[in-house]
């Protein structure tokens, strides 16, 4: 499932290509992907201009000149591509927005969704989300205050969207690795120094993920060489049986709260 770096990468690249453009056509092949009957959904979207693209946690928000919003969550397997019928990937497309000469394809949204929402409904959707980990106001002091009474595992705490938003399975493992902490440690047993290192590692890993275009395996447009570069730079995620980049012991795959988890048992303590 795309996490903060992937969705922020989408936000930046789509902003460059779509903001200011008018949606001239809408094609929907799966009605369950949208939150209205197909015809009313098209009426809400077609003819509207995208004035801004924003991100909150793992969501992307396309702000329309009508004052309403298109809220996207890709869930597991969802992707986006900007191009045309000649260069678009040969994959099932649930929704296509046509901007006249360029199209935005929403691909693989079997579990994901694209909803038209008022700003009020949008605020309600985000009401229970935790703070953004890369927000300048989310300082070490704020992090320590948030974690002060937490007793859950590091892994489950990091991926809980109600505590911190935007981190998922992949980056939680990468953060634990850089912090040299086992994901099965509990937050309340961490020393001040370990908690500080966890915070710093979170910042480092997420910024690195963004600089490498995240781990999505499909470019956003033809010629996009950035998106997905993190695939080749993971420290431990999906590296079971490979040598740890820090101590050379083999990376282990395990399950933590039903989530696949990768770590080095030797140098993560």
Positions marked active-site: 2-3, 58, 259
97 to 24, 32, 52, 118, 137: CA distances (angstroms): 8, 17, 16, 19, 35
How far the first Cα of the chain sits from its last, in Å, is: 27
Residue 8: Cβ-neighbour burial (10 angstroms; 0-12, 13-18, 19+) = buried
Rg (CA), the chain: 20
Give residues with Cβ within 8 angstroms of 142, minimum separation 6.
131
Tokens 């969550």, located at residue: 73
Task: Say whether 260 sits in a helix, a strand or coil.
Answer: strand
Q: What are residue 55's DSSP bridge partners?
A: 60
Distances (CA, A) of 16 to 7, 9, 60, 238: 14, 11, 15, 32
Q: How far apart are CA 140 and CA 59, in angstroms?
A: 25
Q: 65 - beta bridge partners?
A: none
CA distances (Å), origin 40, targets 174, 189, 208: 43, 53, 41
């Amino acid at each position: 499932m795309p996490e903060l770096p992937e969705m922020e990468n989408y936000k930046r690249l789509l902003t460059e290509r779509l903001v200011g453009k008018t949606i001239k056509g809408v094609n929907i092949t799966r009605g369950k992907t949208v939150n209205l009957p197909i015809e009313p959904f098209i009426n809400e979207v077609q003819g509207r201009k995208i004035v801004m693209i924003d991100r909150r946690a793992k969501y992307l928000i396309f702000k329309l000149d009508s004052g309403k919003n298109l809220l996207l969550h890709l869930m597991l397997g969802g992707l986006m591509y900007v191009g045309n019928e000649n260069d678009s990937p040969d994959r099932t497309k649930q929704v296509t927005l046509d901007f006249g000469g360029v199209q935005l394809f929403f691909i693989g949204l079997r579990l994901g969704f694209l909803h038209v929402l008022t700003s009020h409904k949008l605020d309600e959707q985000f009401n229970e989300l935790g703070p953004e980990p890369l927000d300048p106001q989310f300082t070490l002091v704020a992090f320590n205050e948030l974690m002060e009474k937490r007793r859950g595992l590091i892994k489950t705490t990091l991926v809980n969207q109600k505590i911190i938003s935007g981190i998922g399975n992949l980056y939680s493992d990468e953060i634990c690795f850089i912090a040299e902490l086992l994901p099965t440690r509990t937050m309340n047993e961490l020393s001040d120094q370990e908690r500080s290192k966890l915070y710093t590692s979170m910042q480092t890993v997420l910024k690195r993920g963004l600089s490498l275009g995240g781990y999505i395996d499909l470019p956003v447009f033809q010629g996009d060489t950035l998106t997905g570069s993190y695939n080749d730079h993971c420290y431990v995620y999906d590296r079971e049986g490979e040598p740890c980049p820090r101590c050379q012991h083999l990376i282990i795959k395990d399950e933590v709260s039903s989530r696949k988890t990768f770590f080095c048992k030797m140098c993560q303590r």
